[in-house]
Amino acid sequence: GAVVSQHPSWVICKSGTSVKIECRSLDFQATTMFWYRQFPKQSLMLMATSNEGSKATYEQGVEKDKFLINHASLTLSTLTVTSAHPEDSSFYICSVHGLAGDTGELFFGEGSRLTVL
């Protein structure tokens, strides 16, 4: 299976600043990565699908200008929360699908907990 690493695990920032979260596929070239957000006691919510070399596909209701996604290589996707506000405080998780021939399961990064003061 794929190994996915996220950084940072925890970040605290002031309101109005921007925060970048990195998602790396360590042993698998991922043309597609997924970004999720999870508020406490709620389900995972797909924010966007990150496509290597092209624009990300955002889910309805997710502001693409606020949540900037860059997928410049087959092993790295970044999510930048611009002008963060307290309501953006959440658990952000990236994932990749398994290798072709696998069950297609999602492998998740460790997650990044963002707290905006």
Bond preceding residue 8 cis, omega within 30 of 0: yes
Classify burial at 10, counting beta carbons within 10 Å of its beta carbon; exposed 0-12, middle 13-18, buried 19 or more.
Answer: exposed
Choice between 86 and 104, CB closer to another protein:
104
Please, what is the minimum distance in Å from the beta carbon of residue 20 to another protein?
19
Considering only residues 27 through 56, tell me which ones interact with another protein, judged by CB under 8 A.
Answer: 41-46
Which window, 14-22, 60-68, 70-78, 103-111, contacts another protein (CB under 8 A)? Answer: 103-111
Cβ count within 10 A of residue 12:
12
Please, what is the minimum distance in Å from the beta carbon of residue 16 to another protein?
26
